[in-house]
Structures are given as C-alpha cells and as structure tokens.
Amino acid sequence: MALSKLAGFELSGSVIVHPANTQDNSNLEEFSETEKEQLIHHTGIKFRKIVEANTQIIDYFEHGINHLLDQLKWDVSEIDVLICVTQNIQTSIPSLSCKLHGELNFSQNTLCFDINSGCSGFVYGVHNAMSILQSLMKQHAKAILCCGDFSSQLINQNDKSTIPVFSDAISVTGLTSNQNELASFFNLETDGSGRKAIYVENQFMHLNGIDVFNYSLKLVPNHLKALLNFAEIENLAQEVFVFHQANKLINDALVKRLSLNPEKVPSTLYEYGNTASASIPLSLGIFSRSEPISKVVLCGFGVGFSLASAVVHLSPNFSFSIVEL
Amino acid sequence: MLIYICIMSIPVSTLFSFDEFLLLVSSELLLADNKVSTNTVFRKLLGWSSLNALLLISKLNELFGIFISSADLAEITTLGEFYDLISKRVNGTK
C-alpha cells in the first residue's frame, strides 16, 4: 500500500481534445447483429473517436495546452511543471514534454518529463505534479498535465476484442495552489502479475478481457477502501467517484461492490469509449457541467496492472471544455 | 428469462447443480437450444466469444464471489471440467 497526502493544491480546469471522426459500434462489419447488440449493452460503448492514421499526438497536446492557457488566463511563462502521461509509441526520444516545451516556448525554469502510464496515468500524473509543486515552496506555482493516447493506432483490425473498446482523445489539465491548504490523498499501487492483461506485442495491443475483469474486481475495492479510510471519508453515497472508463461491465460491478450511489459515478463510455488516461478528466469535466464539484474521488486501474486513486479538490472556478479537431 | 430468474435466485456461495450450470451457460452464450452436456467442448459452442466468455466469468463472480482466469480456462476443455473447476473454487480447494 502506498498511501500519501499532499496539502494545498487543486485542479483549475481541463481541456479535452478529440478527433471529429466518430465510429459507431452498430456499424461494425466484423460482428453479427446479435453480437453488436450484446457488445453495446455490456460494454456500454456505442461511439468511439478515431484519428486518421498519420495524426501526430503532439499536435493534439499543443492544441490542448494553448486552449487551456486561454481558458485559465495563464501565461506560458508562469508554468513550473509540464508532464505528459502517454504510452504512445510515435515519439519517445526526446520526450513529448520536451518537444512541447520547445514548440510552445515554455520558460527554461519549466520542469518537463513524460510518464509511461495508461489507465491509471491521470492520477499518477496528478500525484507527480502536486508533489513537485509542493517541493517548489512557491506561491501560485502552476503545473500542466497532459494525458492520453491514440490507441486506435495500436489496434489490429482483425482483433474483435480491442476494436469496439478503444477510442482516441487527450486531456490537458491545469493544477495550482488552493487558498485553504486543503489536503489531497493518494493510493498508488501495482500488481505486476497482471502485466499480461493488457500489453503491446508486435505493434499491436492485446486485451485479455477476463483477466482485466478479474484484476479489477479483485484489487480495486480494497485499494479504494484503503484510500477512503486514509482520507477519513465515510459517507460514500455523498461522494462523486470518477473511475477510469474501462467498460460498463467492470464499472457497474465496482459500483455495486462498493455500494456507491450510481448517480454520483459519471460514465462517458456510450459517447466516447475507453480513452485510456484521458478518460478520468473527460468524465470529471462532463460531470462538472451538470453539478458543481469541490471534492472528488478519482480511481484509475488497468494496464500494468496499475492502480491509482485519489481524493482531490477542484477550484471553485474549475473550467472545462471540449475541442474537436 | 425464466432461466435467468431461477439462477439469480441462487444464494451466493451455494454451488448449483451441473444442470443449473448448463442453464447458465445456455443463457449467457445465447444458445438457441440446450444440447450441451458434460463432454461438450465449450470453446466450440456457437455462442462462445471473448465477450460471452467474459459475461459468463462475471456472472460466476457475482453468484459465488469466485475468480476464473484465462489461464484457468486454458487448462480445461469440456463443460464437465469447467463445472469441476467452479466446484473446487467455491469449496476453496483450487
């Protein structure tokens, strides 16, 4: 168990960038009508966002950062930390964050690095960003956290287990100090025995749905209970829980197992599918449009097998937007 | 639907009979008839797919709180062996 606590930081706002191109699981040629109905019903996924084959993920992150800076009225020179969480294989040397630093003229004082993480990546990124911001001992320190993958570029078009699930989107989130020194709580864990549940081999992603289900149901409930106990949260029905959007079968089972209030657990699976590390900021942002949120429980789980949950605070002025390219 | 209701009424951790297991398989794999037996090779069933296999595994988890992994399934071939595995998992002997 890796529990930790950081005081004084909040999420200021998020931007999601996704392609306009949308694929409908009702139109999948490889599946029979019955299979398609079952698939949409049980995975909860009808639509997926899919980029063109040669689209570069760095272009999406650039759009997202520029949009977020305008949205939050931040200047690029103010940014202390820039982190990219991605498992995209297009660009690993140099890191995406260093490339973005150069393209967008960040300050030399801006600390940059990438994190290789998927489903749990947003929470790992928030933890890293807040830890560094705290260490700076600086008022109004600011971080930008970029998350996401173009998973469609890793899909074998003959693989019926991955085609209907994964979707392309990225998120860009701003973090800064909050006035009330409110504490954030984290639980970051790994069970490497589950490393074969989702993996890339010979350029293609492989998904073992049964093992992902088993690891999720075995590990996530106790993982989350440890976090909630640490954060002294008892009344679960009142809390907003934003889970990684794996599929409806897993997420519904977790809600039931933890006795959560389904109305406080947003899902974006139907419209967006599984958008890897962008799925938590996407679901959080959309939910924040319908209900003001000051505090939220986040939970990412998947490829690794990696688990990351957090209790974090949102700025009273938290802003969210979606950009379609 | 009647089959489904009957199975859902089984108390958690109480193992069902082999015939009830066959009903569950027929229900989850959307089999049009019930021509399945102990010796049926489950991977050759018309309704067997990665999604339906997952649905069956999740239903067993919901009913009995047990986990059947893909490695477990790789070691068995017939529905009879599948039922034996479930029995042992429920009894805590495997």
Question: What digits encode the pLDDT tens for the residues A272-316?
Answer: 999 999 999 999 999 999 999 999 999 999 999 999 999 999 999
Predicted pLDDT at A136: 92
Euclidean distance between CA atoms A146 and A62, whole angstroms: 10
Write the residue in A34, A211, A213 that is nearest to B30 by C-beta: A34
Q: Which of A115, A59, A108, A121 minimizes the C-alpha distance to A92?
A: A115
Euclidean distance between CA atoms A220 and A147, whole angstroms: 22
Q: Is B53's CB within 8 Å of A210's CB?
A: yes
A172: β partners: A15, A146
3-state secondary structure chain B: CHHHHHHHCCCCCCCCCHHHHHHHHHHHCCCCCCCCCCCCEHHHCCCCCHHHHHHHHHHHHHHHCCCCCHHHHHCCCEHHHHHHHHHHHHHCCC
Q: Which residue of A has its CA nearest to B73?
A: A210
C-alpha of A250 from chain center: 16
Q: Would you give per-residue pLDDT tens digits along chain A (325 residues)?
A: 599 999 999 999 999 999 999 999 999 988 889 889 989 999 999 999 999 989 999 999 999 999 999 999 999 999 999 999 999 776 678 999 999 999 999 999 999 999 999 999 999 999 999 999 999 988 899 999 999 999 999 888 888 889 999 999 999 999 999 878 899 999 999 999 999 988 889 889 898 999 999 999 999 999 999 999 999 999 998 999 999 999 999 999 999 999 999 999 999 999 999 999 999 999 999 999 999 999 999 999 999 999 999 999 999 999 999 999 9
Burial of A10 (C-beta count, 10 Å sphere; 0-12/13-18/19+)? buried
Write the residue in A34, A35, A213 that is nearest to B54 by C-beta: A213
Euclidean distance between CA atoms A145 and A148, whole angstroms: 10
Predicted pLDDT at B1: 37
Residue B90 · residue B65 · CB < 8 Å: no
Euclidean distance between CA atoms A122 and A173, whole angstroms: 10
The torsion angles phi and psi of A287, rounded to 5 degrees, stand at: -65, -35
Structure tokens of A74? 């931040």
**Alpha-carbon distance B45 to nearest alpha carbon in chain A (angstroms):** 15
Q: Is A213's CB within 8 Å of B49's CB?
A: no
Q: Which residue of A has its CA nearest to B60?
A: A214
A261 touches B at CB < 8 Å: no
Q: Which residue of A has its CA nearest to B67?
A: A214
Q: Is A210's CB within 8 Å of B30's CB?
A: no
A32 touches B at CB < 8 Å: no
Helix residue ranges per DSSP H, chain A: 33-43, 57-72, 96-104, 121-135, 209-230, 248-257, 269-272, 279-290
DSSP designation for A172: E
Q: Is B57's CB within 8 Å of A213's CB?
A: yes
A161 touches B at CB < 8 Å: yes
Structure tokens of A87? 């498992």
ipTM (interface predicted TM): 0.82
Torsion of CA A43, A286, A118, A225, to 10 degrees: -80
For an interface test with B, the pick among A42, A195, A214 (most B C-beta atoms closer than 10 Å) comes out as: A214
B50-64 and B79-91 helices cross at what angle (nearest 10)?
30
Helix H or strand E encompassing A169: strand A169-177
Residue B86 · residue B64 · CB < 8 Å: yes
Q: Would you give per-residue pLDDT tens digits along chain B (94 residues)?
A: 334 434 444 444 567 888 888 888 888 777 766 677 888 888 888 778 888 889 999 999 998 999 999 999 999 999 999 999 999 898 887 7
| Residues of chain B found within 8 Å of residue A209, distances taken between Cβ atoms | 50-51, 53-54
**Alpha-carbon distance A199 to nearest alpha carbon in chain B (angstroms):** 15
Structure tokens of B35? 């021509």
| Residues of chain B found within 8 Å of residue A38, distances taken between Cβ atoms | 30, 51-52
| Residues of chain A found within 8 Å of residue B50, distances taken between Cβ atoms | 160-161, 209-210
Residue A151 · residue A205 · CB < 8 Å: yes
Euclidean distance between CA atoms B91 and B71, whole angstroms: 19
Predicted pLDDT at A5: 96
B60 touches A at CB < 8 Å: no
A33 touches B at CB < 8 Å: no
Euclidean distance between CA atoms A106 and A145, whole angstroms: 14
Q: Read off the pTM.
A: 0.92
A219 touches B at CB < 8 Å: no
Q: Is the peptide bond before A94 cis (omega within 30 degrees of 0)?
A: yes
A252 touches B at CB < 8 Å: no
| Residues of chain A found within 8 Å of residue B12, distances taken between Cβ atoms | none
User: Where do we find the tokens 């996530």?
Assistant: A220
Write the residue in B61, B62, B70 that is nearest to A208 by C-beta: B70
Q: Is B58's CB within 8 Å of A38's CB?
A: no
Predicted pLDDT at B49: 84
| Residues of chain A found within 8 Å of residue B51, distances taken between Cβ atoms | 35, 38-39, 42-43, 161, 209
B70 touches A at CB < 8 Å: yes
Q: Is A213's CB within 8 Å of B62's CB?
A: no
Euclidean distance between CA atoms A243 and A164, whole angstroms: 19
Euclidean distance between CA atoms B33 and A24, whole angstroms: 31
Predicted pLDDT at A128: 97
Question: CA triplet A296, A170, A81: central angle to 5 degrees?
Answer: 70
